[in-house]
Chain A
Amino acid sequence: MRLLLLIPLLFLAPLAHADLKWDKLVQEFKRVPDDKEIEAHYVFHNTGTTPVTIKSVHSSCGCTTAKLEKKTYAPGEQGDVVLHFNFGDRKGNYLKGVIVTTDDKNVEPVTLKLYVEIHDPLTVAPALVFWRTGEAPTARTVQLTAEAAQHVKIKSVTSSNPNFTATLQTGQAGLNYTIAITPSSTAQKESADITVQTDFPADAPHAYTIFARIK
């Protein structure tokens, strides 16, 4: 008789499994290079009926690491995977992915995605101007554009080589500028670094370098 009572359990047993529910699988951030790093938290809950052990969190890039406080989570328990992305000298748009796998075959591996836009408050385009030897020494222009919401003023423009002149023209103060760079001659290979000193941010103003080369 007692054995008969156990029969329903045989049918229910396969239904017992872990189930991870994630608050957000994708997160997006916009940052400046000075931020240097970002930490994104991916919260999950074990909504299943058995404990779940996270076997691995695999990152596709050495610049991104993933941390977990512990590996095993009881039913109803919450945890979070912390993605840490070191910017280095990166600029632009980046997508970093981390694959999370568990010991439960019923829980499909999930990919946590981190989109980060690392944007300078001032864009310098191009950051390299060049002439071929013997070419006419005509001016090359470089556009400097500040982020729409950010006023960046140019305090000075200096050339490391007196054979290159750099002339600043202001479009809208704080928003856009043009620098015209001209070599006095292109007879031989030469180089100059043009330093653009800004007033932003106030506590540690940035300087930008434009490379001028006669190749």
Chain B
Amino acid sequence: MIARALRQAAVLLALALLPAIVSGALQLGWKDSEPLAPGEVRAATVREWGDKVQWVDARSRDKYEAGHIKGAILLNEEEWNKLAPAFINDWDPDRPVVVYCDGGSCELSHAVARRLREEYKIGDVHVLKGGITAWSEK
């Protein structure tokens, strides 16, 4: 009797979870298939790079101070002249630079990445697709 009830509960649970699993799989698949803009990199790729990544937070100081990716250095266009020296002192030519913002079109991080490439001729600079939101999704 108890075994039958447990079986029925398991079946019900599986049926309830099925739509969530399908939806999750579809969403992940959709995100992975979204095309990358030039210079962008996916969170999954950055995870493979591990600890060697040099993170740059392109958001405002307020947002950075409210929370940022561990080890990230603040560098935004609003305070570029003040913040750039600290970035340059910290920068390691043997580590890839990954710039992030909140998400969406990542206009802020693209602008910072462009300046690092054009003004400082730093080649290994990437923009995190989906920003900190994508990074926070495990």
Contacts and interface: CB of A to CB of B under 8 A. Distances in A.
A94 B85 CA distance: 24
Given A89-B78, A89-B80, A128-B119, A191 B107 contact: no
B115 A126 contact: no
A92 B111 contact: yes
A187 interface: no
A164 to B, nearest CB: 14
B68 interface: no
B121 A126 contact: yes
A89 B81 contact: yes
A125 B117 CA distance: 11
B114 interface: yes
Interface in B77-129: 77-82, 85, 88-89, 91-93, 107, 111, 114-115, 118-122
B107 A60 contact: yes
Interface residues of B, number: 23
A55 interface: no
A92 B115 CA distance: 9
Nearest to B77: A90
A127 interface: yes
Interface in A118-162: 124-128, 130, 132
Interface of A: 60-63, 88-92, 94, 124-128, 130, 132, 191, 193, 211, 213, 215
Interface of B: 60, 76-82, 85, 88-89, 91-93, 107, 111, 114-115, 118-122
